[in-house]
Amino acid sequence: MKKVVFLFLSFVIISCGSTAVKNPKNQPLYQVLTQQETGGANIRFYEILTEPNEIKMLLHDAFLKKKIVSEDIENANFVILNMGEHPTGGYKIGVEEVFQKKDSIIIKIKEVQPKPTDIVVQEITYPYSVVKINSKKPIRIQ
């Protein structure tokens, strides 16, 4: 009787848990294509590129076009993370975590600020990051 109850409870616990959706080509779920301290926009914003014509704009960037292939336009989405204008170096924006749910992709953003004791560049910087998501599911940013 104990075994039956144990098996039943195990089944219930396992069936209630979340399941990971695997990427069909065994690619990583995401790739940070670039993360720079300067070169971004002067305002803070996040932009999700899903349409082919939006993604093709990335191919005009000399650095990014080497990291994007034509298949990506149909099979991936891209996220541009801009941290805005900052008075010194040492600021960074990037990805803390990306996970896949049944119907969406969740991205947790990580922003880094310099510590008061850090030696940083004394000029205005515009940190940004470009992330490739190897999925066409809708993206939510947290």
112-138 pLDDT per residue, tens: 999 999 999 899 999 999 999 999 999
Residues present in the chain in total: 142
Q: Which residue has the higher pLDDT, 5 or 83?
A: 83
pLDDT digits 0-9 by tens, 88-121: 999 999 999 999 999 999 999 999 999 999 999 8
User: In terms of Cα–Cα distance, which of 128, 101, 141 is closest to 39?
Assistant: 128
* Mean pLDDT computed over 30-47: 95
The pLDDT assigned to 10 comes to 43
- Positions of E strands within the chain: 30-36, 44-49, 77-83, 92-100, 105-112, 128-133, 139-141
Amino acid occupying residue 93? I
DSSP secondary structure letter of residue 24: T
